[in-house]
């Protein structure tokens, strides 16, 4: 049995068309719901305009035997498409942001409040990209660093209670990398006081 997300009913697997790109190999909608779907005029117009490309892509997908192959193909296709049409794509997103600025900002603010830890990670990554620093890290890397520090500030030993800044031991402005080995969790006070100092320089000042 499979649940149809359109008619909200559990139906026999035979009632669903095949789809290699999904985990269970079947469409999300049942055959009956699929037959009732009316394609919008804009979608029909797009298909008529890009019919040759769509059919070519469909043929390639049919030759792919499993989901992993399809995802790899999709990633490669979008990367090539982005490089070829970079200017047009960026302009599209600029126009989209202008039209939906208020909605996007509300959604972003909601996400920030719901994900304070991820926001800290995101900001640290942004600083690394801006400085064109070598290396990268994930949210899991930060969790591991936090656990190794036993939830305490790397510099003063204060209990962080999951509220911390991500600090670069060797500052980005002084050639520090963005690899996990150069990162630590610090309280806001220590992070601001350290500024562009190295660990040794900061500790020598605070120990006086």
- Give the pLDDT confidence score for residue 65 in this predicted structure: 67
CATH code of the domain containing 186 = 3.30.40.220
Residue 193, in any domain of the structure: yes
Give residue 193's domain range: 117-206
Mean pLDDT computed over 26-39: 83
Sign of CA dihedral 31, 33, 38, 39: negative
- Give the pLDDT confidence score for residue 152 in this predicted structure: 94
- Give the H/E segment covering residue 11: strand 9-11
Mean pLDDT computed over 2-29: 86
Residue 18, in any domain of the structure: no
Which residues, in sequence order, are CB contacts of 56 under 8 Å at separation 6+?
none
Q: Given a cut of 70, is residue 208 above it in pLDDT?
A: no
Residue 189, in any domain of the structure: yes
Domain count, the chain: 1
Residue 163, in any domain of the structure: yes
Largest CA distance in the chain: 77
Dihedrals phi, psi of 2, to nearest 5 degrees:
-145, 145
Model confidence over 88-111: pLDDT tens digits? 878 888 998 999 999 999 998 998
Residue 195, in any domain of the structure: yes
| Strand, coil or helix: 189 | helix
Residue 133, in any domain of the structure: yes
Model confidence over 155-187: pLDDT tens digits? 999 999 888 999 999 999 999 999 999 999 999
Model confidence over 109-137: pLDDT tens digits? 998 888 888 888 888 888 888 888 898 88
Q: Given a cut of 70, is residue 143 above it in pLDDT?
A: yes
| Strand, coil or helix: 85 | coil
Model confidence over 37-84: pLDDT tens digits? 776 677 778 778 888 878 777 777 667 667 777 778 777 877 777 777
Residue 65, in any domain of the structure: no
Residue 157, in any domain of the structure: yes
């Amino acid at each position: 049995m499979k649940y149809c997300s359109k008619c909200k009913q559990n139906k026999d697997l035979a009632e669903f068309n095949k789809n290699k790109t999904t985990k269970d190999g079947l469409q999300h909608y049942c055959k009956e719901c699929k037959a009732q779907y009316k394609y919008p005029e804009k979608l029909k117009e797009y298909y008529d305009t890009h019919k040759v490309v769509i059919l070519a892509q469909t043929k390639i997908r049919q030759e792919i035997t499993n989901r992993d192959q399809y995802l790899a193909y999709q990633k490669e296709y979008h990367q090539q498409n982005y490089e070829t049409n970079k200017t047009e794509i960026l302009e599209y997103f600029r126009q989209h942001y202008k039209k939906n600025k208020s909605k996007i900002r509300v959604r972003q603010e909601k996400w920030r409040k719901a994900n304070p830890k991820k926001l800290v990670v995101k900001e640290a990554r942004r600083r690394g990209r801006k400085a064109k620093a070598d290396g990268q890290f994930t949210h899991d890397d930060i969790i591991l660093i936090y656990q190794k520090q036993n939830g305490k500030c790397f510099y003063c030993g204060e209990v962080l209670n999951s509220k911390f800044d991500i600090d670069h031991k060797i500052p980005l402005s002084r050639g520090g990398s963005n690899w996990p080995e150069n990162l630590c969790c610090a309280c806001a006070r220590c992070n601001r006081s350290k500024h562009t100092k190295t660990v040794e320089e900061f500790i020598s000042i605070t120990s006086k």
